[in-house]
Structure 1
Amino acid sequence: MPAMVVSFKNAGKFGQRYSTLEFQDSARLDDGDIWPVSFAVTAWNDTVAEQVARLVRAAQS
């Protein structure tokens, strides 16, 4: 079973302006000396879902 590499923080639960999708240090998204590990999510639609799926697949590869 793969290790947990991503978490989602719901904006409403935490009283924030937007939700965040955050990747753990075990995610394989390294790209040089700097890379994103957290993404703001302001809406959910098919395009966002596919972007998230691509990120999760990359993080697990």
Structure 2
Amino acid sequence: MLTKDKVHQLIDHMPENVSTEDLIGKIILLQKIEIAQKEIVDGEGTDWDDLKKEVESW
């Protein structure tokens, strides 16, 4: 879950004159990373070997 504290940390590490678009983009990226990490913990991720086989089939 994306918490206010994590957003504060993100903002603290950004330049002083950050654009709204860049800030929103970083927040969305952080949220997607957190969702992906939860999926991995819950066993919903794709195994690396399975992913390589799928890419090879393209």
| TM-score, length-scaled by structure 1 | 0.29
| TM-score, length-scaled by structure 2 | 0.30
With a CA cutoff of 8 Å and minimum separation of 6, indicate the structure with the bigger relative contact order. Answer: 2
The structure carrying a bigger strand percent of its residues is 1
